[in-house]
Amino acid sequence: MITSDQSAKDAATLSGAASLACDAPPRVAVMRFRRDFLRTAAGMRQPRKGLMLQARARDAEPDLIRVGFTCTRKVGNAVTRNRAKRRLRAAAQQVLRAHGRPGWDYVLIGRPGVTVTRDFGALCADLRSALEAVHGARGAA
């Protein structure tokens, strides 16, 4: 049997959980469709030594960060391209929640000969500086 004291405790617990959810880092989703990559390509670009960042503000789903990864055949064979994309995914996982903005789409493009061999800390620093440049150029969006 549930007493009024228990229901009050449950309500307090739920409201506490709701306040924690508001403070949580933004959700990150992976872009899968070509049309999303093409829209993002029409946005801003920030080249860095280890990667190229394309970014675009989006109106739909303002609480979600979307990210896509691509490497052309210039990066290397399939094994090399997959390794480059894995490194870009890992860098995005570390950097985007802290430095990305909800309501934005990002595409990370691997660079031939550099994305695979660059130190991982430097690759993360490249992504961080590219994000700062994109958002600094637009001001406080």
Cβ-count burial 100-122 (b if 16+ within 10 Å, e if not): bbebbbbbbbbbeebbbebeeee
Residue-level pLDDT at 62: 85
Residue-level pLDDT at 61: 80
Do 55 and 44 form a contact (C-beta atoms < 8 A)? yes
What pLDDT, in 10s, does the model give residues 30-69?
A: 999 999 999 999 999 999 999 999 999 998 888 899 999 9
In order of their start, the domains of the chain are 26-138 (3.30.230.10)
CA atoms within 13 A on the CB side of 107: 21
Contact residues for 117 (Cβ-Cβ < 8 A; gap 6+): none
pTM of the model: 0.79
What pLDDT, in 10s, does the model give residues 76-97?
A: 999 999 999 999 999 999 999 8
